[in-house]
Amino acid sequence: MSAAPDHRPRMADLPLGERIAKAMPVLLVPILLVLGFLAIGNPSSWLTLTVSGLAMGMMIFIMASGLTLVFGLMDVINFGHGAFISVGAFVGISVVLALAEWAQAPSLLLNLGVVLLAVLAAMAITGMLGWAFERVIVKPVYGAHLKQILVTVGGLIVIEQLIHVIWGPDEIFFARPEMLKGAVTFWGAALEKYRLLAVAIGLVLFVVMRLVFRRTRIGLIVRAGVENGEMVEALGYRLRLVFIGVFIAGSALAGLGGVMWGLYQEVITAGMGEEMMILVFIVVIIGGLGSVEGAFIGALLVGLLQNYIAFLEPKLALISNIALLTAILMWRPQGMMPVVKAK
Amino acid sequence: MSDAILRIENVHTDIAQYHILHGVDLQVPRGAVTMLLGRNGVGKTTTLRTIIGHWPAREGRIVFDGDDITALKTSERARAGIGYVPEDMGIFSDLTVEENMVLAAASGPLDTGRRDRIFEAFPPLRTFWRSPAGTLSGGQKQMLSIARAMAEERRLFLIDEPTKGLAPAIVSTMAGALRDLKRQGASILLVEQNFAVAKALGDFAAVMDDGRIVWAGEMEQLATDAGLQERLMGLSMEAG
Amino acid sequence: MLMRLISGDRPRSRILTLVLLAIFLGLLFAPFLFPGVRALETAARISIFILLAASYDLLLGYTGVVSFAHTMFFGMGAYGVGLASQHMGRGFGPLILGSLAAAVLAAALAFIIALFSLRVRAIFFAMITLAVASAVAVLVSQLSSITGGEDGFTFQIPRALGPANRMGEVMGVNITGKILNYYVVFFISLALFFVLLRIVNSPFGTVLKAIRENDFRAEAIGYRVVRYRTIATCISAAMAALAGSLFALWLRYVGPETTLSFEIMLDLLLMVVIGGMGTIWGAAIGATVMVLAQTYLQDLMGSAADATMAIPMLSRLLDPDRWLLWLGVLFILSVYFFPSGIVGRLRGGR
Which residues on adjacent β-strands are paired with residue C302?
none
CA torsion sign, A265 to A198 to A310 to C153?
negative
In angstroms, the CA B220 to CA B17 distance is 38
Q: Is there a domain that residue B141 lies in? A: no
Pairing assessment for the beta strands A267-268 and A172-173 based on DSSP bridges: antiparallel
Q: Please report the pLDDT score of residue A340 as a whole number.
A: 66
> Per-residue confidence at A9, pLDDT binned at 50, 70, 90?
very low
Count of A–B CB contacts within 8 Å? 103
Q: What angle do CA C86, C89, C95 make, to 5 degrees?
A: 75
CATH of the domain at C184: 1.10.3470
Largest interatomic CA distance in chain C: 65
Q: Do A77 and C127 touch (CB under 8 A)?
A: yes
Q: Which of A126-135, B229-238, C284-293, C308-317 has the lowest mean pLDDT?
A: B229-238
Q: Do B106 and A237 touch (CB under 8 A)?
A: yes
Which residues on adjacent β-strands are paired with residue B208?
B213
Q: Please report the pLDDT score of residue C221 as a whole number.
A: 80
Which domain covers residue A320, as residue numbers?
A: 57-331
Q: Please report the pLDDT score of residue C162 as a whole number.
A: 76
Residues of A in contact with C123 (CB under 8 A): 77, 145, 149
Most confident of A40-49, A82-91, A135-144, A174-183: A82-91
Indicate whether A20 pLDDT > 80.
Answer: no
Q: Please report the pLDDT score of residue B138 as a whole number.
A: 87
Three-state SS string over chain C comes to: CHHHHCCCCCCCCHHHHHHHHHHHHHHHCHHHHCCCHHHHHHHHHHHHHHHHHHHHHHHHHHHCCCCCCHHHHHHHHHHHHHHHHHHHCCCHHHHHHHHHHHHHHHHHHHHHHHHHHCCCCHHHHHHHHHHHHHHHHHHHHHCHHHHCHHHCEECCCCHHHCCCCEEEEECCEEEEHHHHHHHHHHHHHHHHHHHHHHHHCCHHHHHHHHHHHCHHHHHHHCCCHHHHHHHHHHHHHHHHHHHHHHHHHHHCEECHHHHCCHHHHHHHHHHHHHHCCCCHHHHHHHHHHHHHHHHHHHHHHHHHHHHCCCCHHHHHHCCHHHHHHHHHHHHHHHHHHCCCHHHHHHCCCC
Indicate whether B238 pLDDT > 60.
Answer: no
Question: How many domains would you assign to chain B?
Answer: 1
CB contact residues (below 8 A), chain A span 163-222, against chain C: 164-165, 169
> Which pLDDT tens digits describe chain C residue by residue (350 residues)?
666 777 667 777 788 888 888 899 888 888 778 878 888 889 999 999 999 999 999 999 888 888 999 999 999 999 999 988 888 888 788 889 889 999 999 999 999 999 888 877 777 888 889 888 888 888 888 888 888 878 888 888 887 787 777 777 777 777 788 888 999 999 999 999 999 999 998 899 888 888 888 777 887 787 888 889 999 999 999 999 999 999 999 998 888 888 888 888 888 998 999 888 888 899 999 999 989 888 887 777 777 777 777 777 777 777 777 888 888 898 899 888 888 888 888 887 54
Q: How far is C82 from chain A (nearest CA, A)?
A: 24
Q: How far is B88 from chain A (nearest CA, A)?
A: 8
Which domain covers residue B16, as residue numbers?
A: 4-93+156-233
Kindly calculate the radius of gyration of chain A based on its CA atoms and give it in whole angstroms: 21
Q: Is there a domain that residue B192 lies in? A: yes
Q: Which of A251-255, B122-126, B215-219, C8-12 has the lowest mean pLDDT?
A: C8-12
Q: Which residue of B has its CA nearest to A225?
A: B92
Q: Do A154 and C329 touch (CB under 8 A)?
A: yes
- Give the ipTM of the model, two decimals please: 0.90
Q: Please report the pLDDT score of residue B205 as a whole number.
A: 92
Which domain covers residue C74, as residue numbers?
A: 2-346
Neighbour subunits, B (≥3 Cβ pairs < 8 A): A
CATH of the domain at A312: 1.10.3470
Residue among A157, A283, A309 with most chain C CBs within 10 A, to mutate: A157
Nearest to C332 among A137, A275, A326 (CB): A137
Q: How far is B96 from chain A (nearest CA, A)?
A: 10
Q: Which residue of A has its CA nearest to C313?
A: A165
In angstroms, the CA C178 to CA A53 distance is 53
Nearest to C123 among A77, A150, A153 (CB): A77
The tens digit of pLDDT for each residue in B11-53 reads: 999 887 788 999 999 999 998 999 999 888 889 999 999 999 9
Indicate whether B137 pLDDT > 50.
Answer: yes
Q: Please report the pLDDT score of residue C111 as a whole number.
A: 94
Neighbour subunits, C (≥3 Cβ pairs < 8 A): A
Q: Which residue of B has its CA nearest to A221?
A: B103
Question: How many domains would you assign to chain C?
Answer: 1
Does B185 or B82 have the greater pLDDT score? B82
Does A14 or C249 have the greater pLDDT score? C249
Q: Is there a domain that residue B27 lies in? A: yes
Q: Is there a domain that residue A94 lies in? A: yes
Question: How many domains would you assign to chain A?
Answer: 1
Q: Do B94 and A221 touch (CB under 8 A)?
A: no
CATH of the domain at B80: 3.40.50.300
Nearest to A281 among C66, C127, C339 (CB): C127
Q: Is there a domain that residue A87 lies in? A: yes
Residues of A in contact with B92 (CB under 8 A): 223-224, 227-228, 231
Residues of C contacting chain A (CB within 8 angstroms): 60, 64, 66, 116-117, 119-124, 126-128, 130-132, 134-135, 138-139, 142, 262, 266, 269, 273, 313, 316-317, 321-322, 324-325, 327-329, 331-332, 335-336, 339
| Residue B229 three-state SS | helix
Residues of A in contact with B48 (CB under 8 A): none
Q: Is there a domain that residue B78 lies in? A: yes
Residue among B45, B103, B141, B174 with most chain A CBs within 10 A, to mutate: B103
- Average pLDDT of chain B is 88
Q: Is there a domain that residue A201 lies in? A: yes
Q: Is there a domain that residue A9 lies in? A: no
| Residue B2 three-state SS | coil
Q: Please report the pLDDT score of residue B234 as a whole number.
A: 67
Q: Which residue of A has its CA nearest to B110?
A: A217
Q: Is there a domain that residue A257 lies in? A: yes
The secondary structure of B131-191 as a DSSP string is SBGGGS-HHHHHHHHHHHHTSS--SEEEEE-TTTT--HHHHHHHHHHHHHHHHTT-EEEEE
Instruction: Tell me what percent of the residues of chain B surpass a pLDDT of 90.
Output: 52
The mean pLDDT of B189-205, rounded to a whole number, is: 88
> Per-residue confidence at A50, pLDDT binned at 50, 70, 90?
very high
Q: Do C322 and A150 touch (CB under 8 A)?
A: no
Residues of A in contact with C60 (CB under 8 A): 146
Give whole-number Cα distances, C208 to A148, B210, C49, in Å: 21, 32, 23
Q: HSE on the CB side for C167, CA within 13 Å?
A: 15
Kindly calculate the radius of gyration of chain C based on its CA atoms and give it in whole angstroms: 20
Indicate whether B91 pLDDT > 80.
Answer: yes
In angstroms, the CA B105 to CA B114 distance is 10
Q: Is there a domain that residue A298 lies in? A: yes
Nearest to C138 among A147, A281, A318 (CB): A318
Assess contact for A254 and A117: CB atoms under 8 A: no
Q: Is there a domain that residue A42 lies in? A: no
Q: How far is B63 from chain A (nearest CA, A)?
A: 17
Indicate whether A15 pLDDT > 80.
Answer: no
Length of chain C: 350
